[in-house]
Amino acid sequence: MKALIISDSHGWTDKLEQLLDEKRNDVDQIFHCGDSELSPTQSPLKDVISVQGNCDIGQDFPEEWIEETDHGKMYFTHGHLYQVKSQLNSLVLRAEEVKADIACFGHTHVAVCFQEKGIVFINPGSIRLPSGRRDQTYCICELKKDLITVTYYTYDGQEMPELGGTFNRE
């Protein structure tokens, strides 16, 4: 399975739609880790699985989403309910609880991926308001039987090899 993962687009309708239109045919599914500040029925999100962020008040998004794939379980949340700006322990515990192979989150606007306790954690960063670097980012995650590969890109499509990684399935 190949998934496009984005987060924290904060109302960026036209640019979000442009990015999704360009990538839609290259992936099996698109996920948004919250703070789109859009309605689930708005055009850019029409076939995107999205979770609710702290800025998505009043929208009908789930707080978390679990996607079962042929090669593992993916867990999605925005992260604000797990205090990811100050620590990741609560998120790690929740990912373990749902038996996730991959846990995706946003909220911090910081692009990062790492493996802990056999789970690959992915924050795609923000495609509108990045933190810690100037590049607006998203990522593509590819799940295979024995490997999980995460590749980060700038909004303009330039690969960022220093951010991604390939992880063995544990």
Q: What domains does the chain contain, in order, with CATH numbers?
A: 2-168 (3.60.21.10)
- Give the range among 58-62, 99-103, 155-159, 165-169 with minimum mean pLDDT: 58-62
Contacts of 157 (CB under 8 A, 6+ apart): 22
- Round to the nearest angstrom and report the end-to-end CA distance of the chain: 18
Measured CA to CA in angstroms, residue 46 lies from 1, 135, 146 at distances of 20, 26, 32
Query: CA–CA separation, 63 vs 60, rounded Å?
Result: 9
pTM, two decimals, is 0.94
Residue 13's pLDDT band (cuts 50, 70, 90): confident
> Quick one: pLDDT band at residue 36, thresholds 50, 70, 90?
very high
**Confidence (pLDDT) at 57:** 80
pLDDT in tens, 117-160: 999 999 999 998 777 778 899 999 999 989 999 999 999 999 99
> What is the distance between the alpha carbons of residues 153 and 97, in angstroms, rounded to a whole number?
30
* Alpha-carbon span 1 to 11, nearest angstrom: 28
Q: Quick one: how far is CA 143 from the chain centroid? A: 14
Across all residues in the chain, what is the average pLDDT?
93
pLDDT in tens, 75-97: 999 999 999 999 999 999 999 99
